[in-house]
């Protein structure tokens, strides 16, 4: 099979090539969009990532090129017009999970960094400044952590939080009986907001969850709340976040995702003038920690992504797609 991989990053190439097994793989850095779709001509499979846009216009072109499969090397698929893909009879697969543990661990790492201010301490010590002023945190032990969404990632994070001796509240449409046995308390959404010192988001982005964390819902939170988002950027209204950081309603925020990350994250813009005023404002806050969608980035996750991606590609002949969306 001839496979074209859009939005290729150097960190993933070796993992994909290990699974290629004789397939002809072309790696390109360009994102898939109506202008770049022509690059798929002559290939059998299009492999995409989170910021590639598979619109009707793109699907029309891919259909004309005889593309047999679109495979996403990620879990989210809100960037694909699935209904139109079905009408064009182009199967779309994804990687439903690659390492829930990786994202859950990154979530806790953000909490610990923000709370104990290790990022600030690291920079101070490198400048021979051993002063401890401004580095006071709080014990996580017995604090209440609210987890919104207890799918595989949220569940993994709940277990980590329990290991720190936290009281864990959870909100999900489906209760996880294993978590309940471990001591996780399922409560209503508003109670999560009201009772939690730390709130962590682990839900998909859709019409009902878009800007779930908005000014009205932040107002329901306790003063000095810590907000963590390692899920999808659109869950948080950035302007509301900035407002409540300025007013000190929110003590700290950890963001591995950002609602306008599409043309920023995964690339080096160190020589550019940042045009996103909201992101620029966020980065001025000393109590905001931003990582560029790296929560998934472990050896285990990259191996799982590559393996699952090629499982789908190897299923083209049988049309028995295990990870069909």
Chain segment 154-205, per-residue pLDDT in tens: 999 999 999 999 999 999 999 999 999 999 999 999 999 999 999 999 999 9
Which pLDDT tens digit goes with each residue over 103-113? 999 999 999 99
Among 12, 94, 106, 261, the active-site one is 261
In the set 124, 232, 259, 300, the catalytic residue is: 232
What are the strands of the beta sheet with 92-93, ordered from one edge? 24-27, 2-5, 45-48, 69-72, 92-93
Q: Which domains does the chain have, with CATH numbers?
A: 2-98+299-313 (3.40.50.720), 100-290 (3.40.50.720)
- CA-to-CA distance for 22 and 4, rounded, in angstroms? 14
pLDDT reported for residue 103 = 97
232 an active-site residue? yes
- pLDDT at residue 263 tops 90: no
262 contacts: CB under 8 Å, gap ≥ 6 = 51
**Residue 72 pLDDT grade (very low, low, confident, very high; cuts 50, 70, 90):** very high
Q: What count of residues does the chain have?
A: 325
Rg (Cα) of the chain, in Å, rounded?
Answer: 21
Choose the catalytic residue: 247, 293, 299, 300: 293
pLDDT, position 78: 85
Q: Is 293 part of the annotated catalytic residue set?
A: yes
Catalytic site includes residue 167: no
pTM: 0.91
Neighbours of 142 (CB within 10 A): 10
List phi, psi (to 5°) of 177: -65, -35
Spatial separation of the C-alpha atoms in residues 23 and 304, rounded to whole Å: 18
State pLDDT tens for residues 200-242. Answer: 999 999 999 999 999 999 999 999 999 999 999 999 999 999 9
């Amino acid at each position: 099979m001839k496979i074209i991989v859009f939005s290729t990053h150097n960190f993933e190439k070796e993992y994909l090539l290990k699974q290629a097994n004789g397939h002809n793989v072309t790696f390109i850095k360009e994102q898939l969009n109506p202008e770049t779709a022509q690059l798929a001509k002559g290939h059998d499979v299009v492999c995409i990532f989170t910021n590639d846009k598979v619109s009707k216009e793109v699907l029309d072109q891919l259909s004309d090129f005889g593309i047999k499969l679109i495979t996403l090397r990620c879990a989210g698929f809100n960037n694909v017009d699935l209904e139109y893909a079905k009408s064009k009879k182009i199967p779309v697969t994804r990687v439903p999970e690659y390492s829930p543990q990786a994202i859950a661990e990154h979530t806790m790492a953000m909490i610990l960094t923000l709370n104990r201010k290790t990022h600030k301490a690291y920079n101070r010590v490198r400048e021979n400044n051993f002063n401890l002023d401004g580095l006071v945190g709080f014990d996580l032990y017995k604090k209440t952590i609210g987890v919104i969404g207890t799918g595989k990632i949220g569940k993994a994070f709940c277990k980590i939080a329990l290991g720190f001796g936290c009281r864990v509240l959870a909100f999900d449409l489906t209760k996880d009986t294993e978590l309940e046995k471990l001591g996780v308390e399922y409560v209503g959404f508003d109670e999560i907001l009201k009772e939690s010192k730390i709130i962590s988001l682990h839900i998909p982005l859709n019409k009902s969850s878009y800007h779930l964390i908005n000014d009205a819902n932040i107002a329901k939170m306790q003063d000095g709340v810590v907000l963590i988002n390692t899920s999808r950027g659109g869950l948080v209204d950035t302007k509301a976040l900035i407002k409540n950081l300025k007013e000190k309603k929110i003590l700290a925020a950890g963001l591995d995702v950002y609602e306008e990350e599409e043309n920023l994250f995964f690339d080096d813009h160190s020589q550019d003038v940042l045009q996103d005023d909201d992101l620029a404002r966020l980065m001025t806050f000393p109590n905001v920690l931003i990582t560029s969608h790296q929560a998934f980035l472990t050896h285990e996750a990259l191996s799982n992504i590559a393996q699952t991606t090629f499982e789908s590609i190897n299923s083209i002949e049988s049309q028995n797609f295990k990870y069909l969306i």
